[in-house]
Structure 1
Amino acid sequence: MMRQYELVERVAAYNPQVDEDLLNRAYVYAMQKHGTQRRASGDPYFSHPLEVAAIITDMHLDDASVAVALLHDTIEDTSATKEEISNLFGPQIANLVQGLTKIDRLDLVSREAQQAENLRKLLLAVSDDIRVLLVKLADRLHNMRTIQYVSEDKRARIAEETMEIYAPLAGRMGMQAVRDELEDLAFRILNPDAYATISNKLQALLERTGGMVDTISTGLRERLAKSGIEAIIKGRQKRPYSIFAKMQRKSVGFEQLSDIFGFRVLVENLEDCYRALGVVHTAWPMVPGRFKDYISTPKQNEYRSLHTTIIGPKQQRVELQIRTHEMDRIAEFGIAAHPLYKDGIAADRDRLAAESRAYAWLRQTVDQIAHGDAPEEFLEHTKLELFQDQVFCFTPKGRLIALPRGATPIDFAYAVHTEVGDTCVGAKVNGQLAPLVQALQNGDEVEIIRSEAQRPPPAWGSIVVTGKARAAIRRATRAHVRRQYAGLGRHTLERAFERAGKAYADAAFKNGLHRVGYTDVEDALAAVGRGDLKPEAVLRALFPDYREDRVHPILAASEEGWTAAGRTGLKFRLPPEPAVNGKKTRALPIRGLDKDVPVRFAPEGGAVPGDRIVGIMMPGEGITIYPIQSPQLGRFDDEPERWVDVRWDIAEDSSERFPARIRVSALNEPGSLAMIADVVGASDGNIDNLRMVERGRDFTEMEIDLEVWNLKHLNRIINDLRAKRVVSSVSRVNG
């Protein structure tokens, strides 16, 4: 194990003002608290926090972070308390240790809703001080390095958690070295066969290529030196998981990969980066389409580098990354390399948010939590943001917008502002009108065309790729449906109040909301529209002396309004026909089916324009429309509050179709079914479904679900069918 003085020396190597007393006290306290505890490997437990502290020193973090690494398991696994640590080491270190303790108690691989809630807690914990996440990542890295000592039943769970949560978080924070190692260690557990296969192929390739890495490194160094560029060349080999992921993503075999070997060219300053690129492209041919400039347009996690692929010595494709030493440090350690963590300076969240894109992403993700989305939606959003690579696009004013690869103009609109996304009706990409489903490319200039009358269709949710856009579309859809239900609820209450001889007003309803268990008028109206809150309950809440008169709400006043409903003992009074030529009607207008509007047609036979219709409020479903002759209406005789007066509102030239069901009895002979289908098709009807109800020796009875324009169209189809010799009878089914 590392000794006290060795730990202090590691910190002093990058921080001459190291607080030796703090580190020594933390070292002794943690060692005493863990005492004789042992890890699964048999090593003293204290060796674990010591190794975590060593990883933290590799990141060059401040003294407080090193002390927290030493103490991070004391509250969880020993008799130590937060108060004791606060008294000995100060409240800042105590809060950091407490934050890590809370994270340790999370189970991030569980049922989706629980996993989402745990991930919320993790991000909230680290958003207050990013050092909580940095120490946690170091803790997880050492645990993964020693995972072979963990019982077999726990290994897969820990590896899955590492692959799904911690490795992507490390990547988002720009800590690529930590991410690569975490992914590789988890991959070895989760897919040992693939890991072994790729490792063997890598070893065989190394033996076959011999000293190619040294040859290319020497050639590069000599070429750059001749141009007066001092550079350090580092050869590197892709890790097994990185190779596996690319094979899966590109659907290619191991032999088809051209960037298994790569080289990093480290130079002194920014100017030398571009000079080195010129030397490389002059000396060796470049592979077209393989150049990326992440210096002028850095990744969101602050990664900066020039990427290119050339045809090098022996016609071997060589991938090069050209960057400065400082860029290389940020590429390896990401946010941990930020100046705020050097020289013992504590984290300043406001400064860090302003200077660090990685931290800004974390704050933006935490802001998503505040919107109160469902846990599963939050989890989906976060995972989308964690795993996807990026493209960089521009607004017409030159603002840079970073988006996941595959993002659309809709994603772009929501990235600019939620209101821009909600009102988006079109887009111009590089000056040309483009489909909203088009995938954006690096460097595209995107102009969003807006309309205040627009609202985002729910179908957009399956088009967009960013969590922010998807969450905003769902919120807008829910708000729209809520408004629809609220409008229906207001209409229902107005009619109920009118029948009771009362006048409805939102102000009066607001005063009595507490009596029906709501705090917002809009919420209560939506509940009435959904059928969760009965109008009679509202009347009784506002007028305690109200007594319900159980009369069907759609009954007309005159005795002449009675009509037979088509079954014994049941009659309804029909509402008067809706007025025309500008005269008002109390009936709700019914058009076609819109999945955002809570209106649907009776599943037992539908309804078509021309039918006299009745609406029935169905809890949680809106209104179901029945033809007045439907025997199904008998089910609602004792619930008059659910009856809604409705009318058709269909333009004469409308081509919208409506559902109807007919029963056909036809001869059992070849071609009879085809003849029936020909009649429907010739009449411009559409068969939506067909069921054989009863099949006899000579005749078959079938039910056919049709889509027609109106009652006249339906009757024409019925008459044409009756005229065919193979058809014995045709009748309409009304449920």
Structure 2
Amino acid sequence: MLRRTVPAMMRQYELVERVRRYNPQTDEALLDRAYVYAMRAHGAQVRASGDPYFSHPLEVAAILTDLKLDDATIVAALLHDTIEDTDATKAEIERLFGKQIADLVEGLTKIKKLDLVSKQAKQAENLRKLLLAIADDVRVLLVKLADRLHNMRTLKYVPPEKRDRVAQETLDIYAPLAARMGMHDMREELEDLAFRQLMPEAYESITSRVEELRERNGPLVQEIERELKEELERRGMKAEVKGREKKPHSIWGKMERKAIAFEQLSDLYGFRVIVDGVEDCYRTLGIVHTKWPLVPGRFKDYISTPKPNDYRSLHTTVIGPRRQRVELQVRTRDMDEIAEYGIAAHALYKDASGAPGAMLSTESSAYAWLRKTIENLSQGLSPEEFLEHTKLELFHDQVFCFTPKGRLIALPRKATPIDFAYAVHTDVGNTAVGCKINGNIAPLVSELKNGDEVEIITSKAQTPPGAWETIAVTGKARAAVRRATRAAVRAQYAGLGRKIAERAFARAGKAFSDEVVTKGMSRLARTAVEDVFAAVGRGEIKTDDLIRAVYPDWTAPRPEDRLAANRAPQGEGWFELKKGHNLKFKIPEGGEEAFVAALPIRGINSDLPVRFSPQGGAVPGDRIVGILTPGEGITIYPIQSKALQHFEDAPERWLDVRWDVDELSTGRFPARIRVTAINEPGTLGQVATIIGERNGNIEGLEMRSRSPDFTEMLIDLDVFDLRHLNGILTDLRGRPVVSSAERVNG
């Protein structure tokens, strides 16, 4: 168990003795120098409790001696606040104690000069710095966790306004980090200390109920321990049995997760059975299951399939002595040490003789997971996004799934095949179109369960929808979707901008090509042709400015001339696009070829960022005009829309557009109608029936009472084209209850 308190500030020889107990080869002189240096550096500084400040790094070092860590880590603990809070420098520490220790202390030092407004952003940037240091040397994390543990033990001395923030940060980041590193005891204590601060009433309630239960049951834990041990000995198994009650935070978490009351909890006690070897683990399990009934669905084998933090054990729940539910964990002594101390117990910091200090080439699965997580989290996220994704990666419990080839993928609970796909590879996630779970076709939004075999179906034509970001659970998946979405949007705007620029150059009678545009990039403050076109597509660069950047001598036409060209009256010179469509356009200069080059509009699912007028939409068959809106793309209006009056002073935003819709297309387009009907029962039903019989789809309805006798309805419809819309209006006008029916164009 971790050391809880130090009655009085330790002296040098006491610290050395603590280290010598587990490492006889300790460098006593190094520890003495660090002790004296830190004590002098902190000098007369005091903590909020009134104790000398040096008592804090000394406590941190004491916690790490219980984890049996190497000399460098103990020294780093003694010095961890010197660069941040004293006049000490990294160069001085490196000169006195070596580069390795100086790097550890530097990794534990917060960034003081952060020119950031948001406290959350500062927290995120300091966390990013810490995680990057951990990626270089995991001992930074071990010191930081011990530092946080002692700060939480003395939280009552911190100003009240800071306590909740520190406790919440502990619960969000440091306790999950300890869990991911397999440091079970430290995680439990951090959680309980934070829980007591954040929810004192709940903490006291659970603590008192556990105490009442303990008094009522008497020595129940000892009885179960004795009966388990006797049964195993009778079957020839030598085992150590340890039982304990669950911690308050663990109890609270289970009550919240399962939405049950304290009285409904049936497994408040957990027992560890520690045996000599792996075979003994399975023999013990057989003995337990033949003696007491197994609770179905509660057996897990983390020996054959270890957790990513290297945790290995057999878990089972049985109806044991006194008809109590008993949770059992069966493991070897080596497994128990890793379960207690996690990465601190790993051979990464121990040589063949068991003395800490040697660095081996192999790294634990927990550390490998942490390094990969940090790598994924460090790819161009804003501070707030980084903090959010870090919490997502660290906080969730896990499920274990498999690829068809048997590769194990660990994911947070509630993860989906989308998360699974990105865990396999970013390219797999970006091209995922479907999945099979245990051989059956399933939606990509399905929640995965332990043991699922997941096969991802991909297509090179796929790009991840932006909505996936809200569905994905892992930070890696969310970040990848966000990057892909940004790239896709940029590509869309670049494609739109290229077409807009091409049309503008044609109208100006100037040559157009990527090479031509490249000549003007410096004047436009852009470094790539695609950036220029994307800016044009977003409306950030006007086409006149683009042409002038390439051809400085070119003169733009007067606004009134351009406006007249866009709003010329219908009549001579108009061209019917396709037989069967009442769709006519003015032929631009250059004849039919120039007209056909107008931007094709297929609908809201096209490759271009297109939307339709919110004041009444537009349907195939309408004469249409495109208005470029900076940052939003193109808005399509019917030529008769009153809203176009608002853009008369911005003719450069008007675009040549045309419908490109197949006559057999089943795509629908938005339109708005106004129906005035007699105000009597059943009128709305008749109107809706007519629209339904005509295969129209009602998207929205607003009813206004014009008089006691008549009601005005504004109905938003989805229709195939103008002919379809006119048919609906004709049928409505033929009903006796309908006074008038007309299309609305705002």
Question: TM-score normalised to the size of structure 1?
Answer: 0.92
* Corresponding residue for residue 471 of structure 2: 463
Instruction: Measure how far apart 1:594 and its partner are.
Output: 2.7
* Corresponding residue for residue 91 of structure 1: 99
User: Residues 135, 105 of structure 1: CA spacing in aligned structure 2 closer, same or farther, 3 A cutoff?
Assistant: farther
* Local SS of the residue matching 2:472: coil
**Residue pair 1:480, 1:596 contacting (<8 A) in 2 also:** no
**Residue pair 1:59, 1:337 contacting (<8 A) in 2 also:** yes
Residue 548 (structure 2) pairs with residue 540 (structure 1): yes
* Corresponding residue for residue 249 of structure 1: 257
User: Residues 446, 687 of structure 1: CA spacing in aligned structure 2 closer, same or farther, 3 A cutoff?
Assistant: closer
* Local SS of the residue matching 1:124: helix
Deviation string, structure 1 residues 401-425 (Cα, Å, up to 9, x no partner): 1122222222222111111122222
* Corresponding residue for residue 176 of structure 2: 168
Structure 1 segments (4+ residues) deviating >6 Å: 103-110, 555-559, 576-580
**Residue pair 1:555, 1:573 contacting (<8 A) in 2 also:** no
Residue 709 (structure 2) pairs with residue 709 (structure 1): no
* Local SS of the residue matching 2:596: coil
Instruction: Measure how far apart 1:366 and its partner are.
Output: 2.0
Determine which of 502, 510, 514 is the counterpart of 1:506. Answer: 514
2: CA distance, partners of 1:585 / 1:575: 9
* Corresponding residue for residue 662 of structure 2: 651
User: Residues 519, 105 of structure 1: CA spacing in aligned structure 2 closer, same or farther, 3 A cutoff?
Assistant: closer
**Residue pair 2:152, 2:194 contacting (<8 A) in 1 also:** yes
**RMSD, aligned α-carbons:** 2.9
Give ranges in structure 1 of 5+ residues lacking alignment: 564-571
2: CA distance, partners of 1:121 / 1:266: 39
The within-5 A match list for 1:614-693 is 614-692=625-703
Deviation string, structure 1 residues 505-555 (Cα, Å, up to 9, x no partner): 112323432221111222221111111111111111111111112425757
Query: Which is worse superposed, 219-228 or 583-592?
Result: 583-592
Residue 728 (structure 2) pairs with residue 728 (structure 1): no
Q: Which amino acid aligns with 1:40?
A: A
Query: Which is worse superposed, 197-206 or 528-537?
Result: 528-537
Query: Which is worse superposed, 525-534 or 104-113?
Result: 104-113
**Residue pair 1:578, 1:585 contacting (<8 A) in 2 also:** no
Query: Which is worse superposed, 328-337 or 473-482?
Result: 473-482
Instruction: Measure how far apart 1:109 and its partner are.
Output: 13
1: CA distance, partners of 2:118 / 2:56: 26
The within-5 A match list for 1:160-309 is 160-309=168-317
Instruction: Measure how far apart 1:107 and its partner are.
Output: 13
**Residue pair 1:556, 1:576 contacting (<8 A) in 2 also:** no
Determine which of 285, 309, 313 is the counterpart of 2:321. Answer: 313
The within-5 A match list for 1:141-156 is 141-156=149-164
2: CA distance, partners of 1:109 / 1:495: 45
Q: Which amino acid aligns with 1:560?
A: E
Residue 503 (structure 2) pairs with residue 495 (structure 1): yes
Query: Which is worse superposed, 662-671 or 414-423?
Result: 662-671
* Local SS of the residue matching 1:676: helix
* Corresponding residue for residue 572 of structure 2: 560
**Residue pair 2:107, 2:129 contacting (<8 A) in 1 also:** no
Q: Which amino acid aligns with 2:388?
A: E
Number of positions where the alignment pairs a residue of Structure 1 with one of Structure 2: 723
User: Residues 710, 579 of structure 1: CA spacing in aligned structure 2 closer, same or farther, 3 A cutoff?
Assistant: farther
**Residue pair 2:585, 2:623 contacting (<8 A) in 1 also:** no
Deviation string, structure 1 residues 127-147 (Cα, Å, up to 9, x no partner): 222212111110110111111
Query: Which is worse superposed, 483-492 or 354-363?
Result: 354-363
* Corresponding residue for residue 574 of structure 1: 586
User: Residues 114, 560 of structure 1: CA spacing in aligned structure 2 closer, same or farther, 3 A cutoff?
Assistant: farther
Residue 124 (structure 2) pairs with residue 116 (structure 1): yes
2: CA distance, partners of 1:106 / 1:182: 28
* Corresponding residue for residue 587 of structure 1: 598
* Local SS of the residue matching 1:101: coil
Query: Which is worse superposed, 551-560 or 120-129?
Result: 551-560
2: CA distance, partners of 1:103 / 1:134: 19
* Corresponding residue for residue 608 of structure 1: 619
Deviation string, structure 1 residues 248-287 (Cα, Å, up to 9, x no partner): 0111111222221111111222222222222222222221
Q: Which amino acid aligns with 1:341?
A: Y
Instruction: Measure how far apart 1:559 and its partner are.
Output: 8.4
**Residue pair 1:82, 1:98 contacting (<8 A) in 2 also:** yes
**Residue pair 2:403, 2:455 contacting (<8 A) in 1 also:** yes
Q: Which amino acid aligns with 1:326?
A: D
**Residue pair 1:481, 1:597 contacting (<8 A) in 2 also:** no
Instruction: Measure how far apart 1:674 and its partner are.
Output: 4.1
Give ranges in structure 2 of 5+ residues lacking alignment: 1-8, 576-583
* Local SS of the residue matching 1:458: coil
Question: TM-score normalised to the size of structure 2?
Answer: 0.91
The within-5 A match list for 1:371-390 is 371-390=379-398
* Corresponding residue for residue 362 of structure 1: 370
Deviation string, structure 1 residues 463-516 (Cα, Å, up to 9, x no partner): 332222222222222222221111110000101111122222112323432221
**Residue pair 1:11, 1:57 contacting (<8 A) in 2 also:** yes
**Residue pair 1:396, 1:446 contacting (<8 A) in 2 also:** yes
1: CA distance, partners of 2:571 / 2:438: 69
1: CA distance, partners of 2:358 / 2:568: 74
Deviation string, structure 1 residues 372-401 (Cα, Å, up to 9, x no partner): 134433333221211112222222222221
Instruction: Measure how far apart 1:576 and its partner are.
Output: 6.9
1: CA distance, partners of 2:694 / 2:661: 20
Deviation string, structure 1 residues 174-210 (Cα, Å, up to 9, x no partner): 1111110000000000000000000011101111111
Instruction: Measure how far apart 1:573 and its partner are.
Output: 7.6
Instruction: Measure how far apart 1:596 and its partner are.
Output: 7.2
**Residue pair 2:419, 2:474 contacting (<8 A) in 1 also:** yes
What is the percentage of aligned positions where both structures have the same residue?
A: 66
